[in-house]
């Protein structure tokens, strides 16, 4: 652990500092906020958040934003995202997209949701050997 930390420090010590070209932030008493910045190395970030509606687990922050950076291949990558009660949802041309769920699987999920198995009260415990 100590060796890996020393290597990490050595690598970052060789890189020159990056200037921040633009930076702004704001927050409100109601919990809303926004911030953005742009660095000379092509990194830029923009995010806004607010308190969302209260759910079963209380109130959550709803966030939307984007960031971009220049990859090692010289290409500028951009990610737009939303983070809310459904989790972090990034979108970007370079990000993989899950395939569509086959129709037979969708029907199976719908059937299982409509016909839950009865709860077994006396479930047999696993044996310990």
Residue 52 in tokens:
């969302």
Report if residue 4 sits inside a domain.
Answer: no
**Helix, strand, coil: what percent of the chain each, to 5?**
20, 40, 45
Residue 42 CA to residue 20 CA, distance in Å, equals: 10
- Structural domain including 62 reads 17-114
Closest-CA residue to 84 (of 66, 52, 62):
62
Q: What is the pLDDT of residue 103?
A: 94
Residue, of 127 and 32, whose pLDDT is higher:
32
Report if residue 124 sits inside a domain.
Answer: no
Q: What is the pLDDT of residues 73-89, one digit of tens each?
A: 999 999 999 998 888 99
Report if residue 22 sits inside a domain.
Answer: yes
Report if residue 72 sits inside a domain.
Answer: yes
Confidence check: pLDDT of 2 > 60: no
Residue 48 makes CB contacts below 8 A (sequence gap 6+) with 32, 33, 34, 63, 64, 65
Q: What is the pLDDT of residues 10-23, one digit of tens each?
A: 555 677 899 999 99
Report if residue 64 sits inside a domain.
Answer: yes
Report if residue 6 sits inside a domain.
Answer: no
Residue 10 in tokens:
């050595």
Q: What average pLDDT does the segment 95-102 reach?
A: 89
Confidence check: pLDDT of 123 > 60: no
Report if residue 29 sits inside a domain.
Answer: yes
Report if residue 53 sits inside a domain.
Answer: yes
């Amino acid at each position: 652990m100590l060796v890996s930390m020393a290597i990490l420090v050595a690598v970052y010590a060789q890189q020159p500092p990056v200037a921040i070209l633009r930076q702004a932030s704001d927050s409100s008493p109601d919990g809303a906020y926004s911030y953005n910045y742009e660095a000379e190395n092509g990194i830029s970030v923009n995010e806004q958040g607010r308190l969302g509606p209260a759910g079963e687990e209380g109130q959550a922050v709803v966030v939307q934003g984007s960031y971009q950076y220049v990859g090692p291949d010289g290409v500028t990558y951009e990610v737009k995202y939303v983070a809310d009660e459904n989790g972090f949802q990034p979108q970007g041309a370079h990000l993989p997209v899950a395939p569509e769920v086959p129709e037979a699987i969708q029907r199976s999920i719908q059937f299982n949701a409509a016909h839950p198995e009865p709860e077994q009260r006396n479930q047999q415990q696993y044996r310990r050997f």
